[in-house]
Structure 1
């Protein structure tokens, strides 16, 4: 496909999705960053190496939402989470369960370190009750003043109600109270993007990364901003850094794919679209772009399959009508018939 046509295609796509870090369509103008919990498990007493550790992510009601298996002192990550309270629970044979409570309502990212203590019979003389405590933490309470956290929470609540000016005011107050509040700067930047205030968005997102240069969502958001402005050369290093920091981030892979498509580097973009799909199968715009790429290659059947996946996942999406028309066009094309 000629570069000008591809840029035109992506312009419409970017307006609808490139900045949607929470996977929302344009009918929902808020940009609520998905939650993520990173953590590790450590051991006291017992075997030198523990080969079977299971970490559960549970709701407050005890429902298991995600789980992962680890070997030894490995790290874990749960992502794509609703902004809600959770319990992280670790289990290993010969050890007492450890739990850690995390509240993602105030900030999108959390860290949890769980310590598993060997059962008394496995560690002679071990005092009773070790590992039975369940520390309750609200992410950032050790550093961020409570008043700043409250403003941040009010901003998130305003976003839930699509009240962008109100949300903006609360986020601005949060960073005024605590100037190192990099998560609030991220939210500030995404609200500014919703309002097409590019300079203000860029300033807020850059400030977020100045405070924390390992904050992957900040790189993703700033790269998305440059994508929307048609500046792939500026977006690419930021998004590559985001993928490096958080290789399991579907948003980073998706944004990087769009950057590469804007540069007409389709072959390099496809693996990132594929990875985004693996990590977020229900995200419809991956299928939309894969369909467009297949169409440009003349692979009508693959294009139709991808477009149909898009319609199955997002039948009410603003792009659904033109995609249905494209499917109908393919069905009428002689090459598409058996």
Structure 2
């Protein structure tokens, strides 16, 4: 059985469960996730809305709705649904991390700080939140704080390429070109697509 066949069988099973119990929020949520894996965005969205209607505390469904909005390029919609997730479950770290990321994408790094710090207070080993926070500090020219959070991320996940890229950017700004090159090389090694202009600029110092 192929992965596609397995997913179709899984979807059919969930539909059968929902035919017997249409108010099962978890079944709607799981069906939505299966549709996401097939890139069936509208079907997934319908199931996530059904999930929160049946189970209003299912914050994960709001996060998934935010993810769909992000995929569609609707940053404000992504922000809205992740805020709904924090209202639904205030101690769930993922939506706070997402809110910080969206503010960064909107060019408002100062607004990103509070939700990202909240995410990390709830989950200190949240690697993505450390790196997004580092990016916010870099945008605010607080390079020492950027470096600190990149190093914290790498203690948790030593191959997390975006953290190495942030370190390369910071060390370049500080004129520490050898360190910048070392971190750029690691970012590339672990799969990060470094900005070509930045790469050329650093290569000149090799």
What is the TM-score normalised by the length of structure 2? 0.80
Give the Cα separation in 2 of the matches to 1:234 and 1:321.
25
Give the one of 107, 112, 118 matched to 1:230. Answer: 107
Q: RMSD between aligned alpha carbons? A: 2.2
Residues 1:310 and 2:187 aligned together: yes
**Partner in structure 2 of residue 186 of structure 1:** 63
Residue from 162, 169, 172 that aligns with 1:292: 169
Higher percent of residues as strand: 1
Look up the match of 1:242.
119
Deviation string 1:4-52 (CA, Å, 9 cap, x unpaired) is xxxxxxxxxxxxxxxxxxxxxxxxxxxxxxxxxxxxxxxxxxxxxxxxx
Partner-residue secondary structure (3-state), 1:286? helix
* Residue 322 of structure 1 pairs with residue 199 of structure 2: no
**What stretches of structure 2 of length at least 5 have no aligned partner?**
1-21
Change in CA separation of 1:238 and 1:147 when aligned onto 2, cut-off 3 Å: same
For 2:129 and 2:49, the matched residues in 1 are separated by: 26
Structure 1 stretches of 4+ with a deviation exceeding 4 A read: 328-332
Separation in structure 1 between the aligned mates of residue 126 and residue 204 of structure 2, nearest angstrom: 38
Which residue in 2 is equivalent to 1:147?
Answer: 24
* Higher-RCO chain (CA-CA 8 Å, sequence separation at least 6): 1
TM-score (structure 1 length as normaliser): 0.51
Which whole-Å CA distance do the structure 1 matches of 2:74 and 2:202 have between them? 39
Q: Which runs of 5+ in 1 are unaligned?
A: 1-144
Report which of the two has the higher share of helix: 2
* Equivalent residue pairs, number: 185
Q: 1:146 to 1:302 in 2, by over 3 A?
A: farther
Distance 1:146 1:265 in 2: 49
Matched residues in 1 for 2:142 and 2:202: separation? 25
User: 1:266 matched to which residue of 2?
Assistant: 143
